[in-house]
Amino acid sequence: MSPGVLSDASSVVELDTGAIRGRRRRGTRQWRGIPYAAAPAGDLR
């Protein structure tokens, strides 16, 4: 994943795999529900 470009007005990060929309809340930017990797289960443990 390459570094994203943050649009200050809309809190959108553009990545190689698509755009992710965040939100501003209590003075911070938040992006929720971003899948990072598969759970370490079975042979992955």
Residue 35 lies in a domain: no
Helix/strand/coil (H/E/C) assignment for every residue in 1-45: CCCCEEECCCCEEEECCEEEECEEECCEEECCCCCCCCCCCHHHC
Instruction: Quick: pLDDT tens for 2-37.
Output: 555 555 556 888 888 788 888 888 888 888 878 777
Residue 1 lies in a domain: yes
- pLDDT score of 8: 53
Does the pTM exceed 0.75? no
- pLDDT score of 4: 57
- pLDDT score of 31: 87
- pLDDT score of 34: 81
Residue 21 lies in a domain: yes
- Higher pLDDT among residues 45 and 43, named by residue: 43
Looking at the structure of the chain, the number of domains it has is: 1
